[in-house]
A and B are shown apart, each in its own frame.
Chain A
């Protein structure tokens, strides 16, 4: 059994709901299918304490239609990356930060708040990142339904119908 298989086996053993929802899709890369907030919160301490993935490299936000995917990527000092995909519904876009275990994720979770509109709770106080000040609320540029052509950069307003007249 190589190390990827061992990690998959230990995860499925500890969390049976992961069986058939986790695979080695690329060499050294373990991906999960979308898992719920609650499932994700259960797995994280195990990943940190038992599996030794000490570093959260990044969290990639993806627009998956009715939900927003938060692909958390973890690494240890080996070549394997573990990518857990937490899925939050757009109807209730909330998530809990993992910065208590992984302080290295703070800036990346702030990005998810700004760009995807997911309220990540539990982050320490600090400036928002990366959108500019004065950015209109309710505008999440990385969502697929947000059209940059409708955004007037002079007035910083999003025109719901038609393209922005003054732009660039």
Chain B
């Protein structure tokens, strides 16, 4: 599938839903964070498919998390997750967010995002390309449409 195909598909489902995302850096090196913001810039432009980046957890449907969770951000991550209203979904962006990555054994790292909150979509990469982020959001929503109970609709 080419990049253009992915974008076309994204536009198709984007007309049906427009999820708002909130981004939280749980202890990342910023590589994945910058690529996440990149996906909002003109070349990839998530905004044209209705995806908006929000500032407050209360306004967001999807929590986009980067980084291996450090001991200091652990509680804050839980609080942000709890502040979101249902239905809410979590995407772990980057290998560090998926499993802890190369920092897994560090004394101040608990592990991936799923060591703290439930994750719906895992997106490995170092750093993750914006096309992959688009693909991840597409998969998440396709899973919702298919009524897949394993993905999405995280418990309160």
Contact = CB atoms under 8 A, between A and B. Distances in A.
Q: Do chains A and B touch in the complex (CB under 8 A)?
A: yes
Interface of A: 131-135, 141, 148, 151, 153-154, 156, 168
Contact of A132 (B71, B100, B105, B106): B71
B56 to A, nearest CB: 24
A107 B72 CA distance: 18
B104 interface: yes
Nearest to B104: A168
A153 B71 contact: yes
Instruction: Please indicate which of the listed interface residues B70, B71, B107, B108 has the most CB atoms of chain A within 10 Å of its own CB.
Output: B107
B111 interface: yes
A127 to B, nearest CB: 11
B115 interface: yes
Contacts of A154: 110
Interface of B: 70-72, 100, 104-111, 115
Contact of B107 (A133, A134, A148): A148
Contact of B115 (A133, A134, A168): A168
8 A-B pairs with the lowest CB-CB distances in the bound complex, closest first = A132-B72, A132-B71, A148-B107, A168-B111, A141-B107, A153-B110, A151-B107, A168-B104
B100 A168 contact: yes
A148 B105 contact: yes
B100 A156 contact: no
Given A132-B70, A153-B107, 5 more contacts: A131-B108, A132-B72, A133-B72, A141-B107, A168-B111
21 contacts: A131-B108, A132-B70, A132-B71, A132-B72, A133-B72, A134-B71, A135-B71, A141-B107, A148-B105, A148-B106, A148-B107, A153-B71, A153-B107, A153-B109, A153-B110, A156-B71, A168-B100, A168-B104, A168-B109, A168-B111, A168-B115
Given A132-B71, A156-B71, A168 B108 contact: no
